[in-house]
Amino acid sequence: MINIIGLGYIGLPTALMFASHDVEVIGTDFNKELVYELQKGKVPFEEKGLKELFNNAKSSGITYTTDYQSTDIYIVAVPTPYDKRYKKIDSSYVVQAVESIMEVCTKGAILIIESTVSPGTIDRYIRPVIVEKGGVVGTDIHLVHAPERIIPGNMVYELEHNSRTIGCDDVVIGEKVKLCIPLSVKER
């Protein structure tokens, strides 16, 4: 099962793509109104092919919730707004999401950061959160950095066809994640 955290422009199509390929998906967002709308079957924004993908995912049993799930794969797609004052991105949403994941994840879980952050942000802000929460990176949790490259307009097509960069500590985990990303799901 994959728990996708953040059901916005990036997280929602990602969740729908996995679910449409028969992967068990639970989408989590802390925005109660958004989750309610999704549960009611309302697609929150327009994109070519999104409604169809939404309906396919629904038939495959995708669920939407405000709760973080206890599982072994997480994809974090929360915002990273640019902070003009400090001239850098605000990684606090990602940090908060990782803290919440650490409360529920199973030992050895894979945590994929899909939000737009630099490798330096992973090392300076994300790894320490895991350690502060009592986790050992590479044992209790495997940290993976795979920022999304799609942009609005043709997201559904791009999700399947864009190549991706996957950064990780352990090549075996990297290969596993490679099989996870939507393009590879399609190829299986």
Ligand X SMILES: NC(=O)c1ccc[n+]([C@@H]2O[C@H](COP(=O)([O-])OP(=O)(O)OC[C@H]3O[C@@H](n4cnc5c(N)ncnc54)[C@H](O)[C@@H]3O)[C@@H](O)[C@H]2O)c1
Residue ranges in contact with ligand X by CB under 6 A: 5-11, 28-31, 34, 77-80, 93, 96-97, 115-116, 148, 150-152
Pick 63 or 170: Cβ nearer ligand X:
63
In order of 31, 53, 86, 92, 129, the CA distances from 121 in angstroms are: 25, 32, 14, 11, 12
Which tokens sit at 14?
């990602």
Secondary structure letter of residue 137 according to DSSP: B
Q: How far is CA 79 from the centre of its chain?
A: 11
Q: Which residues of 72-101 are buried (b: 16+ CB within 10 A; e: fewer)?
A: bbbbbbbbbeeeeeeeebebebbbebbebb
Q: How far is the CB of 172 from ligand X (least distance, A)?
A: 26
Q: How far is the CB of 170 from ligand X (least distance, A)?
A: 24
Pick 116 or 138: Cβ nearer ligand X:
116
Q: How far is the CB of 88 from ligand X (least distance, A)?
A: 13
Q: How far is the CB of 30 from ligand X (least distance, A)?
A: 4
Which residue is nearest to ligand X, using beta carbons?
8
Pick 64 or 93: Cβ nearer ligand X:
93
